[in-house]
Amino acid sequence: MDKGQIIEGKVVDFALPEGQGVLKEGGRVVFVSGVLIDEVCRVRITKLKKNYALGEVIDILEPSPSRVEPICPHFLEGCGGCRFQFMDYEEQVKAKERNARQTLEKVGGISWEEVDYEGFIPSPSPWEYRNKMEFNFGEKEGELILGLRPRGRYWDLVDLKVCYLMKKDLTRTLLKLFRDYGRNSSLSGYDPRKKEGVLRNLLVRYSSSQELLLGLSTVSVDLPRQEDLIEELRKNFPSLEGLVHIINNSPASALIFEDKKVLWGKDHFFERVGSVNYKVSIESFFQVNSFLSSTLYEKAAHYASLSGGETVLDLYCGSGGVGLFVADSAQQVVGVEENPQAVEDAKFNAWLNGRNNFTCIPGRVDKVLPLFSNVGVDVVIVDPPRAGLDKKVVRRVSSLSPQRLVYISCNISTFARDLLLFREQGYHLEKITFLDLFPQTPYFESVALLKKG
Ligand SMILES: C[S@@+](CC[C@H](N)C(=O)[O-])C[C@H]1O[C@@H](n2cnc3c(N)ncnc32)[C@H](O)[C@@H]1O
């Protein structure tokens, strides 16, 4: 095989999380973006590696019936927000399910005959499902722009008119309003390569009861024309709960809260899952797909299988999410969380919902876990960020010998890796359910029950 060579073939697999079709040619695997399983296509080889090649599609000779027209005008501009717009939703779910099952088999070493597989739950809505978006400011040809980064290009930006991942009418008005505000105020957009510029992010949080909370992140600066901005926002959004100015001078590309100042209203909003009300501060985590939060928490509660007398640990508890949801059925629940504002929210939420048996310990899970070494822990719930647990955490959780371990994960690869580590500690996967919390993207959530023996 040579670089530049044209090949024709059938797509035999679809690899996640990259979302690339897999062809086989001359004993080599060829990865191609923008093609679906079973499609026959003509491909130009663009890169040759030792064990595989990369190619770009020239023609789709036999398109899949699952191929659809992308609904968002920014998809073809390379916006990194949603990669799967060209396949119908049913096919997205199938591709994720295949990937989940293969990864757990290959990396997690499980045998499906020994696991109670409870299915892949699709999102009730494949569009406009997100309650949180983080848009970036930047500049193109000297003009301020506002949008999302193309995949793999942290310095680049697609100027968005609309985003369909969140309520489209809301994003359309917000993106225009903030872009106009920045331009009319002669504020520059931040360049992550040069580390220059003023406006960095627009953070939008929109609760299921339609409370709107906005954060404008900049380097240290006194924002001009604040009154005009607030007036314009209130005129357009009667459900606005607050506008917060976030200061972020950090060179990191992530949105970091070095300081915050409420410019108008409040710095938090409220969400409800089942019968539990949650105050969520602008910097605290909350499950992003409001349509599936209660299904996710109910599944976790079902796996925890509490009968009223248990001591439960809720590790990586955020604003108290799962722990407060199950607290009514346990003797006591102890949350652990490193974000100080989320810890405050969790404690407030325990009070708000009358869950006096819930407490939250601030700190990193690996540092806090030794405190429980002499406490009888019956059930441990973990819901770590994408990096998963580290070896030390797996060892420390296992040494508490909980009867049941409920693992909630947003990254199948790190979950599969941790599953192997738990196996070495004597835990096995008993039940698992997947939930599509992130339609149009390669990501999804897993909830699993692990038991000793
Ligand atoms: C995926 S969220 C889970 C939140 C919660 N379970 C819920 O349903 O809302 C992960 C949380 O872990 C926290 N976190 C990340 N690393 C941590 C660590 N090493 N120790 C403690 N908390 C951590 C984050 O601040 C975040 O709130």
Q: Long-range contacts of range 253-258, CB-CB < 8 Å, 24 or more positions apart? A: 253/154, 253/192, 255/134, 255/200, 255/201, 255/203, 255/217, 257/283, 257/341
CA of 74 to the centre of ligand 1 (A): 32
First to last CA, the chain: 50
297-306 average pLDDT score: 98
Residue 37 has pLDDT above 90, yes or no: yes
The reply to whether 73 falls in a domain is: no
User: Do 191 and 241 share a domain, yes or no?
Assistant: yes
What spacing in Å lies between the alpha carbon of 44 and ligand 1's midpoint? 43
Q: Closest Cα to residue 404, out of 339, 450, 365, 352?
A: 450
Report angle CA 238, 243, 245 to the nearest 5 degrees.
165
Residue 277 lies in a domain: no
Q: List the structure tokens of 157.
A: 């930006």
- Å from CA of 284 to ligand 1 middle: 9
153: pLDDT strictly greater than 90: no
Overall average pLDDT of the 41-49 stretch: 95
Same domain, 41 and 103: no
Q: Whose CA is nearest to atom 6 of ligand 1?
A: 317
Number of domains observed in the structure of the chain: 3
| CA-derived radius of gyration, the chain | 23
**pTM recorded for the entire structure:** 0.95
Token representation of residue 41: 């296509």
- In terms of domains, do 167 and 103 share one? no
Paired with 79 in beta bridges are: 150
Atom of ligand 1 nearest to the CA of 364: 20
Counting atoms of ligand 1 from 1, which one is nearest the CA of 287? 9
- Please check whether residue 170 is in contact with residue 325, taking contact to mean a CB–CB distance below 8 angstroms: no
386 within a domain of the structure (yes/no):
yes
User: Given its phi and psi angles, is residue 210 left (phi above 0), alpha (psi -120 to 50 degrees) or beta?
Assistant: left
Evaluate whether residue 77 is within a structural domain: no
In a shared domain, residues 208 and 313: no
Q: Is the CB of 407 under 6 A from ligand 1?
A: no
Kindly give the number of the ligand 1 atom that is closest to the alpha carbon of 387. Answer: 16
Strands 20-25, 28-33: pairing kind: antiparallel
DSSP per-residue codes, 217-278: EESS-PPTTHHHHHHHHHHH-TTEEEEEEEE---SSSS---SEEEEEEE-SEEEEEETTEEE
The alpha carbon of 365 and the centre of ligand 1 are apart by a number of angstroms equal to 9
**103 shares its domain with 178:** no
For residue 453, what are the contacts with CB-CB under 8 A and spacing of at least 6? 426, 428
Verify cis geometry, omega within 30 degrees of 0, for the bond prior to 17. yes
Q: What residues does 44 pair with on adjacent strands?
A: 6, 56
Instruction: Give the residue-averaged pLDDT of 46-52.
Output: 91
The amino acid present at 282, given as its one-letter code, is I
Is 81 within a domain?
Answer: no
d(CA 2, CA 447): 44
Closest residue to atom 8 of ligand 1, CA basis:
321
What is the number of the ligand 1 atom nearest to the C-alpha of 286? 9
- For residue 86, pLDDT beyond 90: yes
CA-to-CA distance for 422 and 399, rounded, in angstroms? 11
CA–CA distance, 300 with 447 (Å, rounded to integer): 7
pLDDT tens sequence across 200-241: 999 999 999 999 999 999 999 999 999 999 999 999 999 999
Please compute the mean of the pLDDT values over residues 360-388 and round it to a whole number.
Answer: 96
Percent of the chain with pLDDT over 70: 100
The pLDDT value given to residue 19: 85
pLDDT of 80 over the 90 cut: no
Apex 196 CA angle, 217 and 159, nearest 5 = 65
Domain containing residue 366: CATH number: 3.40.50.150
Mean pLDDT of 136-162: 94
- Whether 85 is covered by a domain: the verdict is no
**Do 335 and 320 form a contact (C-beta atoms < 8 A)?**
yes
User: How many CB atoms are closer than 10 A to CB 203?
Assistant: 20
* Band (63; pLDDT cuts 50, 70, 90): very high
Minimum CA distance residue for ligand 1 atom 27: 318
Look at residue 278 and tell me if it is in a domain: no
267 shares its domain with 335: no
pLDDT (0 to 100) of residue 453:
81
Of 241, 272, 303, the position where a domain reaches its end is 272
452: left (phi over 0), alpha (psi -120 to 50) or beta: beta
Question: Packing angle between helix 89-106 and helix 412-424, nearest 10 degrees?
Answer: 30
In terms of domains, do 372 and 444 share one? Answer: yes
Cα-to-centroid distance, 276 and ligand 1 (Å): 19
Residue 88, in any domain of the structure: no
- pLDDT of residue 313 exceeding 90, the answer is yes
Residue 412 exposure: Cα atoms within 13 Å on the Cβ side: 24
Is residue 168 located within the same domain as residue 199? Answer: yes
Q: Is 410 a catalytic residue?
A: yes
Same domain, residue pair 373 and 304:
yes
pLDDT at 103 over 90: yes
Range of the domain at 116: 98-124+289-452
What's the full length of the chain, in residues?
453
CB 317 within 8 A of CB 382: no
Distance CA 217, CA 386 (A): 24
Q: Are residues 299 and 200 in the same domain?
A: no
Q: Is 255 in the same domain as 300?
A: no
CATH number, domain at 253?
Answer: 2.40.50.1070
Q: How many CB atoms lie within 10 A of CB 227?
A: 9
What is the residue-averaged pLDDT of the chain?
96
Provide the residue type at 69 as one letter. Answer: E
Cβ of 346 below 6 Å from ligand 1: no
Q: In this structure, what DSSP letter does residue 187 have?
A: P
Residue from 437, 412, 439, 432 nearest 92 by CA: 439
Question: Same domain for 116 and 233?
Answer: no
pLDDT at 83: 87
Torsion angle, alpha carbons of 100, 103, 105, 107, to 10: -150
71 vs 124: CA distance, rounded Å = 18
Q: Assign residue 24 the CATH number of its domain.
A: 2.40.50.140
- Among residues 414, 411, 413, 408, which one has the least CA distance to residue 433? 408
